[in-house]
Amino acid sequence: MDKVIVNAALTGMVPTRDDNPYIPLSCEEIVADAVRVVGAGASVLHLHIRYENGEPAYEGERFGQLFDAVRKACPGVIISGSTSGRTVTELEKRAEVLDASPDLGSLTMGSLNFPRQASINAPQTIVGLARKMRERGIVPEIELFDLGMVDYTRTLIERGELKGPFYANILLGSLGTLSSGGFNLAMMVNALPSGMIWSGAGIGRYQFEMNCLALAMGGHVRVGLEDNIWMDPLTKQDPASNVRLVERVVGVARSMGREPASCGEVRQLLQLPLVRAA
């Protein structure tokens, strides 16, 4: 695909206002950022929710309120709801977001260590989430942090637990997982199941590097404050905002002759309904 899917991960679970003053925390702030990044070229929004104190939340009702507000403000945008297990381990709690009818649902294909905590994704949890997504017509947003996760993805496809269309984020550079770089990204891409649509993402100071490598290789990109809070992570002098991160990567894509894909084009590519009701 000549056009580029820009996936914007707006807030995540970890960054706080002390880390970056532009982190959107409330529903209103997330919606405002969604409008900005969609206007700049993003077509997919990877969304988390927070409690009023800024801590990560999981309740389906909260996700539903956010998704409804985003859909009203950004008609047609593709919403991915996070099923993260970093603070909640029970399958039923992690699956509550799926009751809010996102277009995509995140699905991390194994357990991993982040610098200060583990993300536990037991095999039965991964399969349970995949089945719940399939029952609801939600496309998994497959999260790949290491080569073994690609192998496990293949296994679940062979067992029929995962069915196309297939869309994945390759996230490299986090301490405890596969490091960033052209060789490792090429190795991951080469191992992907045939026909899998993929985006390249880097953690922290590796975000821009991995975005540029993915664009040059014909892939798509994930960008946003969830993964990187600085425009220049080496000097840490210029706090990023979601819209600036999207604008920068879209500018690079256009310099390569690749325009950002529209929401409608991405819906067609991922075989999603034209629009989900708000």
| CATH code of the domain in which 57 resides | 3.20.20.70
Place of tokens 């009701």: 277
Mean confidence (pLDDT) of the chain = 96
Q: How many domains does the chain have?
A: 1
The confidence score (pLDDT) of residue 215 equals 98
CA nearest to 116, candidates 175, 49, 173, 171: 175
pLDDT digits 0-9 by tens, 43-87: 999 999 999 999 999 999 999 999 999 999 999 999 999 999 888
Please report which confidence band the pLDDT of residue 199 belongs to, taking 50, 70 and 90 as the band edges.
very high
- One-letter amino acid at 187 equals M
The confidence score (pLDDT) of residue 117 equals 86
126 vs 118 pLDDT, higher one = 126
Question: 59 lies in a domain?
Answer: yes
Tell me if residue 6 falls in helix, strand or coil.
strand
Alpha carbon dihedral 99, 101, 102, 108, in 10-degree steps, equals 30
Residue 206: DSSP 8-state: G
The confidence score (pLDDT) of residue 115 equals 87
Range of the domain at 149: 6-269
Question: 277 lies in a domain?
Answer: no
Question: 276 lies in a domain?
Answer: no
Contacts of 241 (CB under 8 A, 6+ apart): 22, 33, 225
Quote the percentage of the chain above a pLDDT of 90. Answer: 94
Question: 278 lies in a domain?
Answer: no
Beta carbons of 107 and 142 less than 8 angstroms apart: yes
> What distance in Å separates the CA atoms of residue 101 and residue 135, rounded to the nearest whole number?
11
HSE value, Cβ hemisphere, 13 Å, CA-based, for 267: 15
> What distance in Å separates the CA atoms of residue 97 and residue 24, rounded to the nearest whole number?
19
pLDDT digits 0-9 by tens, 99-112: 999 999 999 999 99
Question: 56 lies in a domain?
Answer: yes
> What distance in Å separates the CA atoms of residue 106 and residue 153, rounded to the nearest whole number?
13
20-47: burial string, b at 16+ Cβ within 10 Å, e else: eebbbbebeebbebbebbbebbbbbbbb
95-132: burial string, b at 16+ Cβ within 10 Å, e else: bbbbebbbbbbbbbbbbbeeeeeebebeeebbbbbbeb
The confidence score (pLDDT) of residue 1 equals 63
Question: 1 lies in a domain?
Answer: no
Question: 93 lies in a domain?
Answer: yes
The confidence score (pLDDT) of residue 276 equals 63
Question: 20 lies in a domain?
Answer: yes
